[in-house]
Amino acid sequence: MAGRRRVPGASVVALCLLLVSLVACGGAPADGARAQVQSLLDRRAEAVLDRDPAAYARTGTRAGFDRLGAVPLADWSYRVTALDRTGDTATASADLSYRVEGHDRSPVVTARTLRLSRDADGRWSVDSERPAGKSGQQLWDQGAVRAVRGERTLVLGVGQSEAMLRDYAALADRAVPAVSDAWGPDWTRRVVVLVPRSLEGMAGLLGSPASSYRGIAAVTTGATGTGAPAPADRVIVNPDAFALLGDSGRQVVLTHETTHVATRAHTSAATPLWLSEGFADWVGYRGGGRTPAEAAPSLARAVSHGDVPSALPTDEDFGFSGDADRLARAYESGWTACRLIAEQWGEERLVAFYRAVGAHRQREGAVEDAMHRVLGTTPEEFTARWRDHLRARLG
């Protein structure tokens, strides 16, 4: 046919290779949409840090901007990890990375999903942003954030009065020196506490069903790793359960969770939950006036009826399975074991034992080695002493 030329085979191969290189170089589509979206999110992040609502609005929806106003941010950035484009609309997957000023040495990194659209001039804009898949919400996803600063703490809340948040800050401020006195000063000695509106809000932050945390007053999030800087720990409160506690119970809870923040860098896969949770409870109750039976009522009832546990609790015993009494006995068993070490070997040895266990790369042999080197005993001998301790103190 006139006006049409056949492309030789070699030229077809060369053309295909050229197209492949255009798509594969940098992993972006040939039209540069991914690069354009990354540039858009860079400008959006800059507007967040600059507290510039006009610049933020120029990148798309303003939803969520005002909710962030009270959060002191040191860093805020997006990294596009995938882009699914259909014509003039697209869905971007991105990692949001941010740090709270004065508290976070390493960033929080969380996956987000953004919906985008492109106008007639080819400019992309953000239509919506939400947590990706099974990722937990951020506090500002739940509403406008109110912030209260303590001496060593920052409390961020949604749906809470300033007076209530100041109460949390006071508890956390008392927890920090109590933890340092027990554990030592080699941690940030700063705490960020998140107080959502309800149990459902707590579950949303953790990306789990509310039933998993019913009756749990607070949890601490953060990655573990031997020797690593504690990366952006958060104490997350369940305000429904917390409200049922008395003054001393609230202080124990905040001190317990603050202990997890302090010990995070020395807690690893080798650390059993009986030790990490038991140590945190030991610090929480340390210096208080509660007797062993008052601090461990579920375990005391069992022991008084002749049901002395045969072994220290497993990690599975600490699962939020709905069996509240089993969970209570697991925590109380860990606490009494740590209390035994503090009484019979000394508090410094207890801290050294914790650090020695966490220094191992894996669980197998960690407790055995640390007991031998630090306490001069074996797990079998220790368990026997612990069971005798329970009979003497709780029987």
Mapping DSSP onto H, E and C, the string for 116-160 reads EEECCCCCEEEEEEEECCCCCCCHHHHCCCEEEECCCEEEEECCC
Q: 128: which 2 tokens?
A: 């919506």
Scanning 286-323, the segments in alpha helix (DSSP H) are 292-295, 297-304
Q: Which of 374, 371, 299, 293 is nearest to 329 (CA)?
A: 299
**DSSP bridge partners of 220:** 235
Phi, psi of 231 (to 5 degrees): -95, 100
Domain coordinates in residue numbering, the chain: 29-135, 137-261, 268-395
Class of domain 29-135: alpha beta
Could you give the CA distance from residue 358 to residue 265 in angstroms, rounded to a whole number?
A: 9
| Those residues with Cβ within 8 angstroms of residue 161's Cβ, 6 or more apart along the chain or in another chain | none
Note the pLDDT of residue 322.
64
pTM over 0.85: yes
Sign (positive or negative) of CA dihedral 138, 140, 142, 145 = positive
Amino acid at 333: S
Residue 317 burial (C-beta neighbours within 10 Å; 0-12, 13-18, 19+): buried
Are the CB atoms for 345 and 375 separated by under 8 Å? yes
> What is the fold of 137-261?
Zincin-like (3.30.2010)
Could you give the CA distance from residue 91 to residue 85 in angstroms, rounded to a whole number?
A: 6
Strands 191-195 and 234-237: parallel
Note the pLDDT of residue 324.
83
Note the pLDDT of residue 319.
84
Note the pLDDT of residue 3.
42
Sign (positive or negative) of CA dihedral 382, 383, 386, 388 = negative
Instruction: Count the Cβ atoms, other than its own, within 10 Å of residue 321.
Output: 11
pLDDT tens digits in sequence order for the chain, 395 residues long: 444 333 344 443 333 333 333 333 344 444 599 999 999 999 999 999 999 999 999 999 999 999 999 999 999 999 999 999 999 999 999 999 999 999 998 899 999 999 999 999 999 999 999 999 989 999 999 999 999 999 999 999 999 999 999 999 999 999 999 999 999 999 999 999 999 999 999 999 999 999 888 889 999 997 555 444 445 789 999 999 999 999 999 999 999 999 999 999 999 999 999 999 999 999 999 988 889 999 999 999 999 999 999 999 999 999 876 678 899 999 999 999 999 999 999 999 999 999 999 999 999 999 999 999 999 999 999 999 999 999 999 97
Note the pLDDT of residue 224.
53
Rounded-to-5 percentages of helix, strand, coil across the chain? 50, 15, 35
C-alpha dihedral over 313, 319, 325, 326, to 10 degrees?
A: -30
Could you give the CA distance from residue 18 to residue 21 in angstroms, rounded to a whole number?
A: 5
